[in-house]
């Protein structure tokens, strides 16, 4: 059966990279019915809003959404609520995409791009599962008030049992498709809300006996991520801790142009996008690295479309173009290495397609 895919190229390098990634998708041979939609600045210019109703309708009807990036200086003067980024936030909340997946995969040929020693990170493959729609970023009450003659700021860190259970289930499910280990990160020694987090994760674990579960305090997890990151398989955590830890993990791999992400809802529908933005400084120059979007498409094959073989083939193709020495400028770190070939966006996509076909 054909998978329903909505492609939202967006702005800047998002729009530039996406046609090449669509060529890569074609080369996988997976049966996709592809629709296109407007999101972000391009939607503001043509429809007057960042998330037009037609785009939302198409998104709801699709199995997966592949997004380039949104935003840019042309829309920076707009009020916060009207900016391109609001379109993305709107899409996330309308589709109830509560599980954010941020893998940190380090391809061996790029091990020296990391801020850690190559042997600590070569072939690193961690998946951080972050709760995206709850926790302290959304908890009420919140605000800044006057009290005793001074200002006092406050937020509320709150999670209900069902919110914890559903994100834990996502993490356990994903671990079943990987190496079978989940580490749940909390601060249960200090915060009652995360003590509940730990209890509920333990209860949910009863349904996943094949998965090895461990718990870790967030301060230790931050330390372990930079000390011995390969000890982790899947990390599951709340919104704020996940925000911080996923950026730490991202830096282990060194390059923004290589980082994919996904946001899933309870029915497996997902929004897949590179971690990077629209990079207006390089847009239109054929130098943007398309691999973060290619790897996002690989995640889409694995987590929403159940096309495991295509996901593996896409990731192997990326590995092999890097081994063959193809580098877009952002990952061309060693200019004296004559075995490396500097390529543009189009030629990098061509190389991935050639690798898929070989
Ligand atoms: P950015 O990620 O767009 O760029 C940061 C730096 O990394 C730039 O120097 C850029 O050239 C480089 N870079 C990014 N992706 C690259 C790639 N694929 N290949 C090579 N180099 C790459 O972040 P920014 O400059 O802070 O933001 C630019 C715009 O993007 C802003 O409007 C911002 O709001 C938006 N943004 C959107 C998203 C999204 O769509 N999810 C995420 C982050 C930022």
pLDDT one-digit tens code per residue, 187-244: 999 999 999 999 999 999 999 999 999 999 999 999 999 999 999 999 999 999 999 9
Domains along the sequence of the chain with CATH: 125-252 (3.40.718.10)
Task: Give residue-wise pLDDT tens across range 103-120.
Answer: 999 988 898 888 899 999
Indicate which residue's Cα is closest to atom 34 of ligand 1. 71
- What sign does the CA torsion over 153, 97, 201, 163 have? positive
Distance CA 292, CA 305 (A): 19
Q: Are strands 125-131 and 99-105 parallel, antiparallel or unpaired?
A: antiparallel
Task: Note the pLDDT of residue 114.
Answer: 86
Task: Give residue-wise pLDDT tens across range 266-305.
Answer: 888 999 999 999 999 999 999 999 999 999 999 999 999 9
Task: Note the pLDDT of residue 175.
Answer: 95
- 71 CA closest ligand 1 atom index: 32
- 14 CA closest ligand 1 atom index: 40
CA of 21 relative to ligand 1 center, distance in Å: 18
Q: Which residues line ligand 1 (CB under 6 A)?
A: 13, 69-72, 85, 88, 256-257, 273, 276-282, 288-289, 292, 330
Give the DSSP H/E element, type plus range, for residue 174.
Answer: helix 161-176
Distance CA 140, CA 261 (A): 28
Token look-up 């391809």 returns: 107
- 72 CA closest ligand 1 atom index: 32
Mean pLDDT within 319-323: 96
């Amino acid at each position: 059966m054909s998978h329903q895919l909505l492609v939202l190229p967006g702005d800047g390098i998002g729009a530039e990279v996406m046609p090449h990634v669509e060529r890569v998708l074609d080369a996988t041979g997976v049966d996709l019915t592809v629709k296109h939609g407007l999101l972000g600045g391009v939607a503001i210019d043509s429809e007057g809003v960042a998330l037009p109703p037609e785009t939302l309708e198409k998104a709801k009807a699709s199995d997966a959404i592949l997004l380039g990036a949104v935003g840019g200086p042309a829309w920076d003067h707009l009020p916060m609520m009207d900016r391109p980024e609001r379109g993305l936030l709107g899409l996330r909340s309308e589709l109830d995409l509560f599980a954010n997946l941020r893998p940190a995969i380090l391809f061996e040929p790029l091990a020296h791009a990391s801020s850690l020693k190559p042997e600590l990170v070569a072939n690193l493959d961690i998946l951080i599962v972050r709760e995206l729609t709850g926790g302290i970023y959304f908890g009420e009450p919140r605000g800044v008030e006057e009290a005793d003659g001074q200002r006092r700021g406050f937020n509320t860190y709150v999670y209900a049992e069902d919110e914890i259970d559903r994100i834990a289930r996502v993490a356990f499910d994903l671990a079943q498709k990987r190496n079978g280990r989940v580490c749940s990160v909390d601060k249960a020694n200090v915060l009652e809300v995360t003590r509940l987090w730990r209890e509920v994760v333990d209860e949910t674990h009863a349904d996943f006996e094949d998965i090895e579960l461990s718990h870790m305090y967030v301060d230790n997890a931050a330390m372990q991520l930079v000390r011995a990151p390969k000890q982790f398989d899947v990390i599951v955590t709340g919104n704020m801790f996940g925000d911080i830890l996923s950026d730490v993990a991202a830096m282990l791999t060194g390059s923004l142009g290589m980082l994919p992400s996904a946001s899933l809802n309870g029915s497996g529908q997902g929004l897949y996008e590179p971690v990077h933005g629209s990079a207006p400084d390089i847009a239109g120059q054929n130098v943007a690295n398309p691999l973060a979007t290619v790897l996002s498409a690989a995640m889409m094959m694995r987590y929403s479309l159940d096309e495991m073989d295509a996901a593996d083939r896409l990731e192997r193709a990326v590995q092999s173009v890097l081994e063959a020495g193809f580098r877009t400028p952002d990952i061309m770190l060693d200019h004296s290495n004559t075995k490396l070939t500097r390529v543009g966006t189009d030629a990098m996509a061509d190389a991935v397609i050639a690798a898929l076909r070989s």
